[in-house]
Structure 1
C-alpha cells in the first residue's frame, strides 16, 4: 500500500495519516540540514508541517519557502520589533489583538482600516508584522491559527492602502506566516471595496482567498458567520466606536514585549525591547504574484 495518496490535477502526493505527515516533516528537516539559534527555535515540527501544507506537501516547494522565511527572519528580525517601534502606527487602534478568543480558541486580530493614520508603507507593514508575532506569541496550547475581524466602518476609497503596500503585505503574510489564518471576516465592506477586492484578490493564494468571508449587518444569512465564530457580546464590543483603549493596550503590549524577549532569548543576544533593530525596506523583496482563476463574487459562504 502506498504511504501517500495522489490528489489534484497535477497528482500532488499528500499524506493520509499523521504518521505519513510526520515522515514528510522528517524528510523536510533532513533537506534543511543543521539549523542553529533562532532558526532552529522557529523551525519546529509543527512549523515545518505548516509550510508543507501551504505547498500541498510538495517537499521541494516547502523547502524553498521555509528557506526564504528563515532568511527573511534573520534579516528583518520580526521577533525584535517592540511596542515603541510601532506605537505611532497603533495609536488609533487600526490593528490590535482582541482580549478574547473565538469559540474555537483562536486569537482574534481586529482591524479597522477606516482608522488609517499613516502613509509610510514600511511602518504599516512593520506594525502588521508586530501584530502577527504578538498573536502567535499568545496562541493557546495546541492552537496554530488566528481569526481576522476587519470592520470597515469609516473606510473610504481615499483610505485604501496603495496597491504596492497590498502586494508586499500579501507576500509577507502568505510566505512567512503560512497556515496562520483560520478565517478572515470582512464586516460591512462598502460596495466600492468589492471593486477594490477584485484588484487585490490576484495577490492572494487561493487557499487564503477561500478563507475570506464577506459579512453584512443587514444580511441575516451572512451574520450567521459571526454567530458561529463569536460570542455576541464580545464581538459587539470590538465593533463599537470605543473598542480601543490606547493606554491599556500599550501596557499589554509592553508586557508581551518582555515575554517575547524571554521566549527568543533577546536579552542575551543584544536584542529585545530596549534595543530595536533597523528594519530593511521591503520594496527590495521579490514579489511573486499568485494568479487565481476563480472569479470574485459577493456571495457569502460559511464553509
Structure 2
C-alpha cells in the first residue's frame, strides 16, 4: 500500500519489543481506498472491442479471400456474435466464423428471395408468423404434415426455404432481442413425413451458422410414432436438444400468444 501511495517503506531494523498500555480506549478509523481504475463496464467493453479488432486483423491477414461487408470478415457485429458464442476465444471464434462466412457464400444466402423460394413456400410447410410471441421473439413455424421428403421437391429446395425463413425471422428481431422461437407443429404427423436428414440440417444450421439465435423449439402435439424419430435425432443436434419442449397446441395458444396474435393454424383444432 505504501508503494501505491508514493511513500517509501522504512528499512527493516532490529527493535526491542516494548509493551505499551493505554488507559484510554483506542479510536478505530475506517480507511477507504478508492480505485482510480475505470468502471468495470467500460473496461469490459474496451476489452471486447479489442478482441473484435484482433479478430478482424487476423481474418484480414490469414483469410483475405473471404468477402467483406455485411456478414463478411470485417462485419464487427457478426464477429462479436461469434466471439460470444465461443466464450471470447479468438481461435475458436475465427474457426467457426470462417466456416460460416464460406457457407453463406457457397449456399448463396444473399441471393435468396421470396421469388427464389416461392414454389416450395406455397406448400405452407414453413413460414414466419406475422406477430411476435408473448416474449417479443419472432416466430418460425414448421408444419410437419405438409412435408413429404423427396415427393415433390429436392432436399436442396427445402434447405433454401429453411435458410430463407431463418433469415427473415432474424430480420424481424426487435431492438434488444437476439433470439427466435421455432414451432414444429406435429399434428397429423405420420411416418412418411419423417425426415431425419433434413431436421439434422436445420439444427446444424443453427449450431454452425446461426449460433445462439434459437431460443426454444416447441414440438407441438407429437404423436407416439414421433418419439422414436426424436430419439434418433437427439444425439445429432448437440446442445440444442435442451431447447426442445414437447407441448400441446393449447399450451402454445395460452403461454406464447395472445388472442390477437395466435397463429391461424392454432385458433381452431385441426
TM-score, length-scaled by structure 1: 0.64
1:236 and 1:209 map into 2 onto residues whose CA distance is: 25
Cα contact 1:110–1:150 (8 A) shared by 2: yes
Give the structure 1 partner of residue 55 of structure 2: 28
1:48 and 1:227 map into 2 onto residues whose CA distance is: 37
Give the structure 2 partner of residue 101 of structure 1: 132
2:268 and 2:197 map into 1 onto residues whose CA distance is: 29
* Structure 1 unmatched runs, 5+: 1-15, 244-303
Structure with larger Rg: 2
Give the structure 2 partner of residue 154 of structure 1: 188
For residues 132-176 of structure 1, the C-alpha deviation after alignment (integer angstroms, 9 at most, x for no partner) is 122223322333221111111111121111x33333333223211
Give the structure 2 partner of residue 72 of structure 1: 103
For residues 11-31 of structure 1, the C-alpha deviation after alignment (integer angstroms, 9 at most, x for no partner) is xxxxx9555444433332232
* Structure 2 unmatched runs, 5+: 1-42
Give the structure 2 partner of residue 121 of structure 1: 155
Asked if 1:92 is matched to 2:119, the reply is no
Cα contact 1:115–1:154 (8 A) shared by 2: no
CA RMSD after TM alignment: 2.8
Distance verdict in 2 for CA 1:39–1:204, change over 3 Å: farther
Determine which structure has the larger helix proportion and give its number.
1
Give the structure 2 partner of residue 210 of structure 1: 242
SS at match of 1:109: strand
For residues 233-254 of structure 1, the C-alpha deviation after alignment (integer angstroms, 9 at most, x for no partner) is 42253424799xxxxxxxxxxx
2:81 and 2:179 map into 1 onto residues whose CA distance is: 10
Give the structure 2 partner of residue 41 of structure 1: 70
1:240 and 1:170 map into 2 onto residues whose CA distance is: 28
Asked if 1:235 is matched to 2:266, the reply is no
Count of paired positions: 221
Cα contact 2:66–2:102 (8 A) shared by 1: no
